[in-house]
Structure 1
Amino acid sequence: MGAEEHGSTRERILAVALELFGARGYEGTSIRDIADRMGMTKAAVYYHFPAKENLLAELRGPATTRIAGVLAAHGPAADPPRRRALVEALVDVVGDVGPQVVVLLSDPAVGPHLPALTAEGSLPTRVAAALLGPLPDDPQEAADARVRAACAIGCLPAGVQAWRRDRPGSTSLDQRTRTVLVQTVLAVLEAGGPRSLDR
């Protein structure tokens, strides 16, 4: 098998795995399912990817690398303009790496496999910390802010899933959808501040 054919087979396996993970979930997809869809043996899939976790690692690699780069470039959101810039950059990653990968990252079954795939801390936790910037001194207000940040991050895969239902054949976000996602994430982050909760 030549290097070009080897690369092509790997890319086809990844594309089929991503499609099946998106449709059935990570746990609901087996190596046999991937092999059957490709018309090859399980051994042939294992030749390219020794375990299902290797497929997951390769599929999530571009997204996590880009998100880590965004976090490094933007730092914590210390004020509203910096928060908006960070959210816009994160939404751009969603649009560039492909909504299917983002949906895969939101699969609850993927969570337990992430620590084994990376030495980094939890990516959602790091994104939340960056979006929040400095936390309020009051412990309850800090806890409230963390809840808002978790919900804001959850808006991305939820929004992408809703977008995919309306545009099942599309593979990249349009500008209008990107704008809606940015506005939604910011609205959730800024909603329910301390004064509004005391009313």
Structure 2
Amino acid sequence: MQEIWESIRGWASENLTEFTLTKIYIACAIAGGTVLVGQTGLNLFGLGGDSDIDPDVDVDDLEGGDSLSFLSIRALAGFLTFFGLVGWGGTASGWGAGITIGAAFLAGASVMVFVALMMRFFRRMAMSGTVRPAEAVGLSAQVYLRIPASNSGKGKITVKLQGRSQEFDAVTRGPELPTGSACRIVAMPTEGTFEVEPLE
């Protein structure tokens, strides 16, 4: 009787553990996949975004101030999805529990790192395309719309900034600057408005 009981306990322990792990893998795959599909759908309508759960848990990049955000929603969703898929597939293929868990974790971690790298790449691309008006101070520009003398009104200038021709409001303390004349940007008294002087 004791042998029968031990046999039943051993069978139940082995099979219930496998059944429980399978349910965990499937749940992870469904949860992560749902988030990924949902965010992709939102992005198609311009509503998508990604946020970091804890911005302090970042690995600083050696080249600058940007970082790898491993705890973003997309990175975590990618981890869960591939952890679940690989774990589910490994269990169905008859892999041992230890090997399956290790392979699933490795797959999920690899996807998490890949997603973090891609997000950093897109952040860099966005930053490189952001116009920083303060960098125009000291550059030459051309008057696009007449600038009244002695700070009596605003005109407009065009200046080549970050490889593109940009248009900004401008004022001058000196004489009036007619359309088409050359000038130099000497200051930015307010955001998006430059103080200029004639370029001699």
Using the size of structure 1 for normalisation, the TM-score is 0.31
Name whichever structure is richer in strand by fraction.
2
- Greater relative contact order structure (CA < 8 Å, 6+ sep): 1
Using the size of structure 2 for normalisation, the TM-score is 0.31
The structure in which a higher percent of residues are helix is: 1
